[in-house]
Structure 1
Amino acid sequence: MYLGPAFLFAAFASLFYIPGFLDTPLGILTPRQLVSQLLFFVFALISLASLARSIELDPVWPWRPEFRRVMNWLLGRTQ
């Protein structure tokens, strides 16, 4: 449920990434570069928060009981 938005916002963040941004002094940045990097940071943070929420709640991760229950059912094992 939360894994999809994590990938979506990561894709949005990749659109605004500027290579070598950390090597550029702040006085030389153009307003367009500054806005682009701010959007990159916002989308990257949203993506990381969504990934963390996915790890906490989604049943697609191997350490979740729901995942183990489905895998046991698929492999024909009984508990």
Structure 2
Amino acid sequence: MTEYEITEMLDVKGQNCPMPVVKTKQTIDQLAKGEILKVLATDPGSMSDIAGWAETTDGVELLDQDNGDDVFTHYVRRAE
């Protein structure tokens, strides 16, 4: 796993679809270009939900996802 210089961390543990994506979008919109958001979620669906959202959203890049034991970690960059 690559180490990223995290600008902001978002904890959406305990929240289910669509909240992890909604909160991720709200937070990433506040970041400057190039900044990285680390998202912590417990909803297994967040893996595909955040990946799909990032793929179809201009100005957002999904750098990595980590499927942990109980927590799913997502690294999203506000694109240049």
Quick check: TM above 0.5? no
More helix per residue: 1 or 2? 1
More strand per residue: 1 or 2? 2
Larger radius of gyration: 1
TM-score by length of 1: 0.28
Instruction: Name which structure has the greater RCO, CA cutoff 8 Å, separation 6+.
Output: 1
TM-score by length of 2: 0.28
